[in-house]
Amino acid sequence: MVTRTINKLHFEDLDTIRFEELILAMVYRMIRWDKLDHFGKKGSDDGIDIKAVEKKKENVYYFQCKRYQKNTNAKIKDIIDEYLRKNTFISQFYIL
């Protein structure tokens, strides 16, 4: 049986963990990953909720899950600055 969603998804109603799990499920389906880790559940994630390593190419992707009703350039800059402060290794791809 095939189902489909016809109503708007209310991301603001999801708690933080469920939102990250939704993003993790989406990331899982993007590419064939060699390794996929979810750090966000543990609390202190240093600006990285999901780490994924692409199969064969060995590209490293970091995903940071945020859900704001309104976003500003300053808020985005703060998130990226925090990531850069807390991490010595910078991946090829950082998806916010």
- CA max distance for the chain: 48
Q: What is the pLDDT of residues 23-71, one digit of tens each?
A: 999 999 999 999 999 986 655 667 789 999 998 888 999 999 988 888 8
Q: What is the pLDDT of residue 44?
A: 62
CB-CB contact of 60 with 91 (8 Å): yes
CA distance 18 to 86: 25
Tell me the pLDDT band of 81, cut-offs 50, 70 and 90.
Answer: very high
